[in-house]
Amino acid sequence: MDMTPHFPIYMDYGATTPVDPRVVDAMIPWLREHFGNPASRSHAWGWEAEEAVEKARQQVADLINADPREIVWTSGATESDNLAIKGAAHFYKTRGKHLITVKTEHKAVLDTMRELERQGFEVTYMDVREDGLLDLDALKAAIRPDTILISVMYVNNEIGVVQDIPTIGALCREKGIIFHVDAAQATGKVEIDVKKTPIDLMSLASHKTYGPKGIGALYVCRKPRVRIEPQMHGGGHERGMRSGTLPTHQIVGMGEAFRLAKLEMGKDAEKVHALQTRLLEGLKDVEQVFINGSMEPGKRVPHNLNISFNFVEGESLIMGIKGVAVSSGSACTSASLEPSYVLRALGRSDELAHSSLRMTIGRFTTEEEIDYAVKAIRETVARLRELSPLWEMYQDGVDISTIQWTAH
C-alpha cells in the first residue's frame, strides 16, 4: 500500500489554515448572484445580504458565547487589535495614559503600542517566564493608578502557549482596567466563554480557523459597556465603530468557519492532540533538542510544536525537509535579520532561536504526513550536523558560549 503523502505537506497552520471546503461552498453564492450591499435598505439584494451578515454575526458570537450585538466586523485581527487598543486608549485617555502588554505579543499589538507611545501614552512591556507564560504577580506589580488598558494574547502564535486569561480578566475587572485579548490563534482551539471570562475587547481572525483571509471581528463587551473611538471613519457602519461596506461573502465565510469550529472543536482537539504526540515522540530523542514554550497540559494548544535543534540553522533545515511547509524563528526566514523576539523573550539564546522550527498542524493533517515530516527532519538534522562546525565543537567538548565570536 502506498502511504506516501501528497506533496507538499502543509504544517504551517499558524501562518494560515486551509479554507475548509464547506466554507468555500457557503461563500460562493454571495460572490455570484447574491452580490448586494448589506447596507442597501431599498431592495431585496440588500435585504438578503443583510440577513446573511446577521446570521454570520450570530455564528461568530456563538463560538465565544457573546451577544451578536457585541461583534464588530473588521478586515482581520491586525485591524481588530488596532481598533481595540487605539480605540480604547483614545476614548479613556482622560482616565490615564498607561497601558500594559507582553513582550511576546503579535506585532499587531506591539506596533500599535509603539504608536501610542509616540502619541504620548506610556506602555509597559511585560517579560514572560521561561515557559512563555506571564508571571501574574509581576503583572499585578506593574499596574499603576493610571493604567487604562491591559492587552494579553490568548494563544501565542509562535509557541502556542495559553495565557491565564480568566485570572488576568478578573484582575482587570477588579481594578477597573480595560482588558483586551488577541484571540486570533485561539478560536476553535480553546474554549472561550465571554459570559464566564471577563474580557472587554477581543480580536478574532477568520483565516486561522479555516475561514477566508481579509475578514475578522472585534468583540466589544456590552455589560459592562466598553467604549472605543472608531479608527475608520465613513458611513457609520457597525454602529459607528468601523465604517466601510461589509464584504458579505467574507463575512459568510467567517460565520460558517466559526460555526464549524464550535461544532467540531472537540473532535479537532482530540485528533490534533494525538498528532502532536506522534510528532513529539518521533523527535524527542534527537540529541540536543529543546522544546520552546510550556508543554504542561492546558498551557499549550496541541496545534503547535516549536523545537530548537541545537547547532542546526533553521532555514537550512527547512530547505532540507523539502515538501514539508513549516516556519522558523531564524532570522534568515524573515526580512529583519533578527531572530524570533518571542523565543528571545523566553530567555533562549540567539543561536537556539536561529535553530528553531515551528510546526503547526490542524484539521487536515494526517498521521502519514507526521511520519514523513519526522523522518525528513531527523535525516536533515543529522546531515546538517555533519556540516556544522558548532556540532563538531560540541562533540569535542568545546563550550561554544565561551568563545569570543565576532558579530557581523
Partner 1 sequence: MAYSQKVVEHYETPRNVGSFDKGDETVGTGMVGAPACGDVMKLQIKVDPRTGVIEDARFKTYGCGSAIASSSLVTEWVKGKTLDEAASLKNSQIAEELALPPVKIHCSILAEDAIKAAVADYKKKHAA
CA dihedral 178, 184, 189, 194 (to 10 degrees): 30
Q: Is 12 in the site for partner 1 (CB under 8 A)?
A: no
Closest separation between CB of residue 354 and partner 1, Å? 4
Q: Are residues 122 and 97 in contact, defined by beta-carbon separation less than 8 angstroms?
A: yes
Closest separation between CB of residue 6 and partner 1, Å? 21
Q: Is 87 in the site for partner 1 (CB under 8 A)?
A: no
Q: Is 268 in the site for partner 1 (CB under 8 A)?
A: no
**In angstroms, rounded to a whole number, what is the distance separating the alpha carbons of residues 46 and 43?**
6
Reduced to 3 states, what is the DSSP secondary structure of residue 69? helix
**In angstroms, rounded to a whole number, what is the distance separating the alpha carbons of residues 99 and 268?**
36
Q: Which three cell numbers stand for residue 219?
A: 468583540
Closest separation between CB of residue 403 and partner 1, Å? 9
DSSP 161-178: BB--HHHHHHHHHHHT-E
Q: Are residues 188 and 210 in contact, defined by beta-carbon separation less than 8 angstroms?
A: yes
Query: Which of residues 40 and 349 has its CB atom nearest to partner 1 in the complex?
Result: 349
Closest separation between CB of residue 128 and partner 1, Å? 21
Query: Which of residues 250 and 310 has its CB atom nearest to partner 1 in the complex?
Result: 310
Contact window for partner 1 (CB under 8 A) among 51-59, 67-75, 106-114, 398-406: 398-406
**In angstroms, rounded to a whole number, what is the distance separating the alpha carbons of residues 229 and 87?**
4
Closest separation between CB of residue 107 and partner 1, Å? 19
Q: Is 397 in the site for partner 1 (CB under 8 A)?
A: no
Sites for partner 1 among residues 341-370 (CB under 8 A) = 349-351, 354
Closest separation between CB of residue 308 and partner 1, Å? 12
Which is it for strands 216-220 and 201-205: parallel, antiparallel or unpaired?
A: antiparallel
Query: Which of residues 174 and 396 has its CB atom nearest to partner 1 in the complex?
Result: 396
Residue in 39, 286, 325, 332 annotated catalytic? 332
Query: Which of residues 3 and 335 has its CB atom nearest to partner 1 in the complex?
Result: 335
Q: Which three cell numbers stand for residue 244?
A: 466601510
221 is catalytic: no
Near partner 1 by CB under 8 A: residue from 4, 42, 402, 406? 406
Contact window for partner 1 (CB under 8 A) among 143-151, 166-174, 180-188, 385-393: 385-393
Near partner 1 by CB under 8 A: residue from 36, 188, 247, 339? 339
- Nearest Cα to 177, choosing from 195, 200, 202, 210? 200
**In angstroms, rounded to a whole number, what is the distance separating the alpha carbons of residues 1 and 9?**
19
Q: How many residues line the site for partner 1 (CB under 8 A)?
A: 29
The order of strands in the sheet holding 289-291 is: 289-291, 304-309, 356-360
Near partner 1 by CB under 8 A: residue from 232, 332, 376, 378? 332
Q: From start to end of 194-287, where are the E strands?
A: 201-205, 216-220
What value, to the nearest 5°, has the Cα angle with vertex 262 and ends 268 and 188?
55
Find all residues with CB under 8 Å of 50, minimum gap 6, and list them: 38, 39
Closest separation between CB of residue 342 and partner 1, Å? 16
Measured in whole angstroms, how far is the alpha carbon of residue 400 from the centre of its chain?
34
Closest separation between CB of residue 208 and partner 1, Å? 23
Window 277-316: contact mask with partner 1 (x via CB under 8 A)? ----------------------------------xxx-xx
Q: Which three cell numbers stand for residue 70?
A: 457585541
Near partner 1 by CB under 8 A: residue from 137, 285, 386, 399? 386
Q: Are residues 312 and 395 in contact, defined by beta-carbon separation less than 8 angstroms?
A: no
DSSP 346-387: TT--HHHHHTEEEEE--TT--HHHHHHHHHHHHHHHHHHHHT
Query: Which of residues 4 and 406 has its CB atom nearest to partner 1 in the complex?
Result: 406
**In angstroms, rounded to a whole number, what is the distance separating the alpha carbons of residues 165 and 299?**
11
Q: Is 392 in the site for partner 1 (CB under 8 A)?
A: yes
Near partner 1 by CB under 8 A: residue from 297, 389, 397, 402? 389
Q: Is 137 in the site for partner 1 (CB under 8 A)?
A: no
Residues annotated as part of the active site: 332
Contacts with partner 1, residue ranges (CB under 8 A): 311-313, 315-316, 319-320, 330-332, 335, 337, 339, 349-351, 354, 386-392, 400, 405-408
